[in-house]
Amino acid sequence: MAVSSLLQTQFNLYQGTSDNSLLRVKLAQAERLKKEYAAIEDKYDGSVQASYEAKLEAAVEAKAGMSKSLQQVQSALGKMDDIRNKLLEMRSAANIGSAEAFDYAYSTLSTMVGSSWLDSDNLIANNRTSSMTWPEKTSIAFGGGYQVQVTNYFLGSDYAIELDDGSGAARPNLSTNKLEGGSLEGVDFADITNPVINGDQISFDVGGTTYTGTLHRGGGGVMNAWSYENFAGSDPDAARSLAMSDIDDALERIRKAETQWNIAGAQLESAFNRLGVAQDDAQKEFEEISYEQLDAKNAEKKAAKARFDLATNGLALTASRSTDFIYQMFISSPIADKKSILEIVGGY
């Protein structure tokens, strides 16, 4: 084999070994960069901003709690005029002795206020219990250190008659104008005569039979026209006066509820606005720390990548120079013209 061919082969073997070594070093550098990235991710795992996030979540929750109660109160206050006007319609109907108009307005009012069974957030709804009570339930709106008392007031009217015959309780069905329950199931309002109410005791006749029982009233305490003898009994003036007196009591109840809800609404709105500022501040703090952490993480990753690039580029340059050096030693000139290593290094 010619000398030049032998030298070329040796050079090729050297270059292959050098390339493999360079590749292994680059792979090692890449693995090191991967570990550095993982360490940086662990360092910026969100623990620093966790407390800021918790503060923000607490502010959002507090504001939301106040918002719900405020909406409840505002919704109730928004219906005050309609409820008051409906009671005034009933009063006018009683004054002119129109039982039909009275009961129609009574039924409309009942629909207007709704039922707590269908809407538990409705502060004016009929909240009758199975024990024939209509409790004024009070709740406390909590949030961000604020506490506001909110009370529900049933602003319609309802009643139940606990019958003395032991058959149960009779209640009005306003969609059919009949009584439901006990021995009075299905009795039409128009068939009830001679009602006498004394405190919580009541008696009346149905088809020649006298029924007695304990009267339970809820909300405004107004009853259907039959309980006022349909304003056409033995003393219609007294019946009209009694109905109008009951309605006046219901109107006073509305005034009381309106006053309480105006106070609660002002307190809730003040707390809601302050909690809104607290939420905005918490949001700003969370965003600032999040951006700071992100910028710091990206800076560290850029620094690690720069070190990686510097190392790999340096290796490539060193390898290239080494290859050129070997090539100069073995290949570039005829063997007879070869300079010594000292000459090559010294540039002679």
In this structure, of 53-57, 213-217, 231-235, 266-270, the range with the lowest mean pLDDT score is 53-57
Structure tokens given for 47? 């623990």
Mean pLDDT value across residues 153-177: 97
Q: Which residues contact 117 (CB under 8 A, 6 or more apart)?
A: none
Please tell me the distance from the alpha carbon of residue 328 to that of residue 323, in angstroms, as a whole number: 9
pLDDT at 324 over 70: no
To the nearest whole number, what is the mean pLDDT of the chain? 84
pLDDT of residue 327: 55
pLDDT category of residue 282 using cuts at 50, 70 and 90:
confident
**106 or 334, higher pLDDT:** 106
Instruction: Give the angle 182-172-241 at the CA atoms, nearest 5°.
Output: 125
Mean pLDDT value across residues 312-318: 61
Mean pLDDT value across residues 50-71: 86
pLDDT at 46 over 90: no
Structure tokens given for 104? 């129609």
Instruction: Give the angle 138-141-144 at the CA atoms, nearest 5°.
Output: 155
Mean pLDDT value across residues 327-344: 51
What b/e string do you get for 33-69 counting C-beta neighbours within 10 Å, with b at 16 or more?
Answer: beebbeebeeebeeeebeebeebbeebeebbebbbeb
Q: Where are the alpha helices (DSSP H) in the chain?
A: 3-43, 47-77, 80-96, 99-113, 236-330, 341-346
In this structure, of 87-91, 101-105, 127-131, 217-221, the range with the lowest mean pLDDT score is 127-131
pLDDT at 24 over 80: no
pLDDT category of residue 292 using cuts at 50, 70 and 90:
confident
Q: What is the pLDDT of residues 75-92, one digit of tens each?
A: 999 999 999 999 999 999
Look up the pTM and report it: 0.70
**127 or 295, higher pLDDT:** 127
pLDDT of residue 251: 98
Where along the chain do its domains lie?
3-57+285-346, 159-218
193 in Cβ contact with 228 (< 8 Å): no
CA nearest to 160, candidates 136, 128, 186:
128
